[in-house]
Every structure is written in structure tokens, then in C-alpha cells.
């Protein structure tokens, strides 16, 4: 198997978002969880997305994991590697977007790297280097209250420069509108002046198509699913890929019980939980008690779900509004509280799978990463899309047998997302 495109995703929901975009644009894609064991049989594919959980870990750890994944992807034949980051540029001044991008570029021989989180389908656009989420600049959007990485600056040239060793340039919309050759000339000129990376503007899909064409001429790029779309379309246009992926056969029924686990505290997820409560039982975990008396709370949640789950899907949610999250974080620390809650939700997910759940929806990137790791699922095939950025996933090589999952990024999905997801997972 020689793949055309490799990708390293910094979290698991982001990985399935990208794999979804690649599949929709014609690439036969598999999402692996970390670097797969050599014994895992992968089908004939055009692209692999390696899911890592490196968005909020120390930069050196992220760099090591990503460079190892890059080496593996190159061995599989990848000519280009996309580092998949969040469309909200979820990061801090310590990283990890800058350090990982620079390390991947160095490993591939250097040169300027194109960076853009634009993903117009979900309302993420970049203009003059400033990221907009829907109609709001990043620093005025709900991401200013993100539990792990609150975003307080919309100027991505500035944000990326703060977390990088090299200088960061800008490829503005005017250069992109002038066509691939002009934009590539700008990238090369920036690299000659010492910029290791350039933030690229993009508002419409046609901008991403131009950027995809340029990125394919370089060994590494960094971006969200929008850049994935550009790369996939450029590969299909180049004739290197037939562009025939569909994903429909992936959703063959698996039966079993179904459940939803939520750890995302995004505005979208909070609304989705409220709406789900009209049609299914919802257990709202008490994170304060969870942190103070972990095992008892976890056991109580499993027993609550166990009593109801044979009658239909249930939701178990740690999610809370920003004020509650900040109170808990100031008492227990941001990382410690996040980690303890992720551990709890992942144990609950695994116990529910033990009790027969085969269709599982998880809300939140970190939350999904913790759950999938505990379930030890090695890889996924990508099925049809439930909402922009969220496909149905079918496990590959899972010891509990085939399962269908949906790993929802915090901000994605309409208000009836949970019921809509389960309606596609039989």
C-alpha cells in the first residue's frame, strides 16, 4: 500500500473531521489511533490520518510524537504530510502548532510552511491573518472561554509567532486571488527572508483549492479540514487519485446498545445536551464531587446508565457552563480537573461498552481521545457525514467486535446532533 497523503491530527475528533473531508472529496481514507501495530491489516487507501492527542501536552512531547508519526507516514509513501490542527487555532504561547510545524518541516528538509485553520463550511475564515469564528473574531467568540486553551488574540501571525522559533509571514487574500503561482512565489519569498511559516488567508473553498495546489508542491503543511479539502481536490485534479471514495458501506448495522458521553463544555455541546434531554435520559455528572470522590461518582453513573440503557440511548455529561468550569479550575487547577474528568468519562464509556454498547457518540476532542484510548480501538473506516466535520466511524481491528462511533468536536453539530447521529448508527 502506498498512500498519496499523510496527516497527523493533534486530537481524535479533529482526525475524524479531516478524514471525513478527505473521504467526501474522493480519497479512500483510514483514521488510525496513533501509529498502528504492523499486524493491523489496512485496506487499499489513498490517505491515512494518524490521530494523536498532542494539542494540550508539553511541546517537546508533541514534537516527538508528531515526528515519529511523520516518519511512519513517509514510509507508507506519503509525499505530503498535513499537520491537522483545530479550525479555532486551539493552542497557547507554549505551542503546540508552531513547535510541531517547525519540527515536521525540518525533518522534511525545511522550506516555508503554509498554515491556515480556515474551514468555511463551519464558519472559520481567515482575513489579513485574523481568524473569524462565524461572524466573530476569535477573541470575541466562545473560544475566549475554552476550558483548556482560552483564545484571546485573533491575529494568527502574532499568535503563531509567540509559540515559534522562526518568523511568521502572511499570504494575504490578494496574493491568493492572483492564483497558485503568485501565492507560491509569496511563500518562497517569505521563506527566503527567514520565515519558517506563513499564515494564509482563505474565505471561500476556491481559496483553499489554490492553497491545496501550493501545499502539494511542499512536503508539509498545517491546517484544519479546509486545507485537507484543498489538498484532496488538488490530488484528484492531478490525476494521481481516482476520487471514487463513498463511505456508504461503512454504516452496515452493528446492533447492540447506544450511549452518548459528553465532556465538551462548548456552547454547541451544552445546547445539544439540553435538546437531547427532551428525548432521552441525561445524567449530568457533578464534577466537583467527581474530583472529590472519584470512584463513587463513577460507579453511581455506571449504575444509573446500566438501569436505563436497555430501554434506549442515554447521555452521561460532565459538561458545564463557563462560570462553573472556571470555579472548578481555580480550585483544582485547569489540567488536573480536565484530566480527572476525562479519566472518569473514559471509564464510564468503557464500562458501558462492557455492558453491550456498540454505538457510541463522544463529544469533545480530549474527551474522545481519552475514551478511544481506554477502549483500545486501533483504527476507523470513515462513513457518511452526520454534520459538517463529523462522520460515522466504523472500528477496524477492535477486540470487542465492530462498533460505530461518532467523535464530535466541541463546537460542531446542530442542536439535535445526538439524536441525528444515533439515527445513522444502527
Ligand X SMILES: O=C(O)[C@@H](O)C(=O)CO
Q: Which helix (H) or strand (E) holds 357?
A: strand 357-363
What does DSSP say about strands 195-200 and 80-84: parallel, antiparallel, or unpaired? Answer: unpaired
Contact residues for ligand ATP (CB under 6 A)?
Answer: 11, 13, 146-148, 263-266, 287, 318-320, 324-325, 328, 337-338, 341-342, 364-367, 409-411
What does DSSP say about strands 5-9 and 47-51: parallel, antiparallel, or unpaired? Answer: parallel
- As given in the structure block, the three cell numbers for residue 26 are 474522493
Instruction: Please identify, among the stretches 8-16, 177-185, 193-201, 374-382, the one whose residues bind ligand X according to the rule CB under 6 A.
Output: 8-16
By C-alpha distance, which of 24, 217, 224 is closest to 138? 224
Give which of ligand X, ligand ATP, none residue 211 binds (C-beta under 5 to 8 Å, depending on kind). none
- For ligand ATP, give the closer residue by CB, 364 or 378: 364
Residues of 203-224 as b/e, b for ≥16 C-beta within 10 angstroms? bebebbbbbbbbbbebbbbbbb
Distances (CA, A) of 148 to 11, 134, 195, 331: 13, 21, 29, 15
Q: Which residues, including other chains, have CB under 8 Å from residue 239's CB and lie 6 or more apart?
A: none
Instruction: Please identify, among the stretches 10-18, 137-145, 180-188, 295-303, the one whose residues bind ligand X according to the rule CB under 6 A.
Output: 10-18
Shortest Cβ distance from residue 263 to ligand ATP (Å)? 4
Shortest Cβ distance from residue 95 to ligand ATP (Å)? 16
Instruction: Please identify, among the stretches 71-79, 80-88, 99-107, 208-216, the one whose residues bind ligand X according to the rule CB under 6 A.
Output: 80-88
Q: Which residues, including other chains, have CB under 8 Å from residue 315's CB and lie 6 or more apart?
A: 259, 260, 261, 262, 273, 276, 277, 280, 281, 282, 283, 418
Shortest Cβ distance from residue 75 to ligand ATP (Å)? 29
Give which of ligand X, ligand ATP, none residue 17 binds (C-beta under 5 to 8 Å, depending on kind). ligand X
Shortest Cβ distance from residue 369 to ligand ATP (Å)? 8
- For ligand ATP, give the closer residue by CB, 15 or 422: 15
By C-alpha distance, which of 103, 114, 93 is closest to 159? 93
Q: Which residues, including other chains, have CB under 8 Å from residue 293's CB and lie 6 or more apart?
A: none
By C-alpha distance, which of 1, 2, 16, 6 is closest to 406? 16
Helices assigned H by DSSP within 25-107:
59-75, 97-107
User: Locate cell 502572511: which residue?
Assistant: 170
By C-alpha distance, which of 13, 7, 43 is closest to 249? 43
Per CB under 6 A, does 17 bind ligand X?
yes
Helices assigned H by DSSP within 76-121:
97-107
Instruction: Please identify, among the stretches 85-93, 146-154, 250-258, 413-421, the one whose residues bind ligand X according to the rule CB under 6 A.
Output: 85-93
Residues 346-365, interacting with ligand X (CB under 6 A)? 365
Give which of ligand X, ligand ATP, none residue 263 binds (C-beta under 5 to 8 Å, depending on kind). ligand ATP
Which position among 4, 7, 13, 141 is part of the footprint of ligand X (CB under 6 A)? 13
Residues 362-391, interacting with ligand X (CB under 6 A)? 365, 389
- For ligand ATP, give the closer residue by CB, 343 or 400: 343
Give which of ligand ATP, ligand X, none residue 342 binds (C-beta under 5 to 8 Å, depending on kind). ligand ATP
**Distance from chain centroid for Cα 383:** 16
Shortest Cβ distance from residue 265 to ligand ATP (Å)? 5
Shortest Cβ distance from residue 88 to ligand X (Å)? 6
String marking each residue 190-229 x if it binds ligand X according to CB under 6 A: ----------------------------------xx----
Q: List contacts with ligand X (CB under 6 A).
A: 11, 13-14, 17, 86-88, 224-225, 365, 389, 409
Amino acid at each position: 500500500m502506498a498512500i498519496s497523503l499523510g496527516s497527523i491530527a493533534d486530537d481524535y475528533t479533529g482526525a475524524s473531521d479531516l478524514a471525513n473531508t478527505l473521504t467526501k472529496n474522493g480519497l479512500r481514507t483510514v483514521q488510525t489511533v496513533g501509529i498502528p501495530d504492523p499486524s493491523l491489516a489496512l485496506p487499499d487507501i489513498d490517505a491515512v490520518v494518524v490521530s494523536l492527542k498532542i494539542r494540550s501536552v508539553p511541546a517537546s512531547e508533541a514534537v516527538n510524537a508528531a515526528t515519529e508519526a511523520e516518519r511512519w507516514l513517509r514510509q507508507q509513501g506519503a509525499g505530503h504530510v498535513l499537520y491537522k490542527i483545530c479550525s479555532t487555532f486551539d493552542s497557547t504561547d507554549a505551542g503546540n502548532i508552531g513547535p510541531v510545524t517547525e519540527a515536521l518541516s525540518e525533518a522534511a528538509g525545511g522550506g516555508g510552511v503554509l498554515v491556515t485553520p480556515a474551514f468555511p463550511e463551519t464558519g472559520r475564515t481567515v482575513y489579513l491573518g485574523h481568524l473569524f469564528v462565524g461572524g466573530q473574531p476569535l477573541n470575541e467568540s466562545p473560544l475566549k472561554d475554552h476550558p483548556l486553551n482560552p483564545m484571546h488574540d485573533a491575529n494568527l501571525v502574532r499568535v503563531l509567532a509567540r509559540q515559534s522559533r522562526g518568523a511568521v509571514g502572511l499570504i494575504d487574500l490578494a496574493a491568493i486571488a492572483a492564483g497558485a503561482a503568485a501565492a507560491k512565489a509569496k511563500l518562497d519569498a517569505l521563506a527566503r527572508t527567514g520565515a519558517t511559516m506563513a499564515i494564509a488567508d482563505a474565505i471561500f473553498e476556491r481559496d483553499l483549492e489554490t492553497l491545496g495546489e501550493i501545499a502539494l508542491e511542499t512536503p508539509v503543511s498545517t491546517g484544519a479540514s479546509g486545507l485537507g479539502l484543498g489538498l484532496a481536490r488538488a490530488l484528484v485534479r492531478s490525476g494521481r487519485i481516482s476520487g471514487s471514495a463513498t463511505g456508504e458501506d461503512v454504516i452496515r448495522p452493528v446492533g447492540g446498545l447506544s450511549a452518548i458521553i459528553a465532556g465538551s463544555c462548548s456552547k454547541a455541546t451544552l445546547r445539544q445536551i439540553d435538546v437531547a434531554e427532551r428525548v432521552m435520559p441525561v445524567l449530568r455528572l457533578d464534577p466537583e464531587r467527581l474530583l472529590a470522590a472519584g470512584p463513587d461518582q463513577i460507579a453511581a453513573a455506571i449504575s444509573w446508565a446500566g438501569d436505563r440503557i436497555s430501554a434506549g440511548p442515554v447521555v452521561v455529561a460532565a459538561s458545564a457552563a463557563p462560570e462553573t468550569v472556571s470555579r472548578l479550575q481555580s480550585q483544582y487547577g485547569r489540567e488536573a480537573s480536565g484530566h480527572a474528568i476525562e479519566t472518569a468519562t473514559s471509564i464510564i464509556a468503557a464500562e458501558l461498552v462492557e455492558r453491550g454498547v456498540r454505538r457510541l457518540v463522544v463529544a469533545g476532542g480530549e474527551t474522545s481521545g481519552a475514551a478511544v484510548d481506554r477502549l483500545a480501538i486501533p483504527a476507523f473506516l470513515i462513513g457518511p457525514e452526520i454534520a459538517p466535520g463529523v462522520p460515522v466511524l466504523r472500528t477496524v481491528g477492535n477486540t470487542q467486535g465492530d462498533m460505530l462511533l461518532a467523535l464530535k468536536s466541541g463546537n460542531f453539530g446542530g442542536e439535535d446532533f445526538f439524536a441525528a447521529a444515533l439515527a445513522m448508527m444502527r
